[in-house]
Amino acid sequence: MNPPLPDTSESSGSQTVRALLRLREMILAGELPAGERISEPVVAEITGISRTPIRTALVRLQEEGLLEPIRSGGFRVRAFSVDEIRDAIEVRGTLEGLAARLAAERGVATADLEALSACVDTIDRLLEHGDPDEARFTGYVEANARFHELLAASCRSEVVQRQVARGNALPFASPNGFIRVQAAAPDALQILLIANAQHRAVVDAITRREGARAEALMREHARIAQRNLQATLANPRVMDLIPGGRLILPET
């Protein structure tokens, strides 16, 4: 009897993740500019990864919105209009608002509320000494991302959580999408403090089971990203601070 074939599903999955991460990195870094055609053989040659996991990675990047299929086969890197980015941020704020409202209405376990509050407290400590240095800013980015992840999970709806994750996959719509631009602004510390005050108010609204208030606060919170987008458009020199910033089409 021939020995069973080895299970290669794990290695294939890890190759897909490696291809996905590498391609996303190349797109966001501008190595693959908007309009660039991407085909499986070319990517296989660049990355040294076999074509099957590359094919899966390309489809996932299409689902994230970074690639679009072309009629002749393969994909090309997408460009994004300012209106599309505004809409993506609005969708994110709406979905996070829904998550906050459901969390408040359904109730959140004490441990989960404490985890949300811990993120807020961490950010407060990082900002209490004034404008953050690189290390404290990195801590802020991590705590901010963690807060938004916990918030999405707190609504106890896999449907809503999945849609929030899809919206956040676009680099411009995620909570940290324009954070570098925000950090470079003259009033950076003030805005970071306001953003965290909104975090704390959302946790308070959820704790008090005030669904409408929690929803309104998260939708307002997304307006900070809209403000940062406007700051970017007004000062194109900061475009390189944004992952994938070169994919943004100029306003006409």
Q: What is the reported pTM? A: 0.81
33-89 pLDDT tens trace? 899 998 888 888 888 888 888 889 999 899 888 899 998 888 999 999 999 999 999
In this structure, what is the dihedral angle of CA atoms 214, 163, 24, 60, given to the nearest 10 degrees? 170
Instruction: Name the residue among 80, 66, 82 with its Cα closest to residue 24.
Output: 66
87-130 pLDDT tens trace? 999 999 999 999 999 999 999 999 999 999 999 999 999 999 88
Q: Return the CATH architecture of domain 9-77.
A: Orthogonal Bundle (1.10)
Residue-level length of the chain:
252
To the nearest whole number, what is the mean pLDDT of the chain? 88
CA distance 32 to 26: 6
25-46 pLDDT tens trace? 888 888 888 999 988 888 888 8
- What local confidence, expressed as pLDDT, does residue 204 receive? 98
Superfamily of the domain at 82-238: GntR ligand-binding domain-like (1.20.120.530)
**Confidence band, pLDDT 50/70/90 cuts, at residue 11:** low
Cβ count near 61 (within 10 Å): 22
- Whether 9-77 shares its CATH topology with 82-238 is answered no
What is the SS3 assignment for 187? coil
CA distance 112 to 154: 7
Across the chain, where does the E strand assignment appear? 37-38, 67-69, 75-77
- What local confidence, expressed as pLDDT, does residue 12 receive? 61
> What are the residue ranges spanned by the domains of the chain?
9-77, 82-238
Q: What distance lies between CA 43 and its chain's CA centroid? A: 24
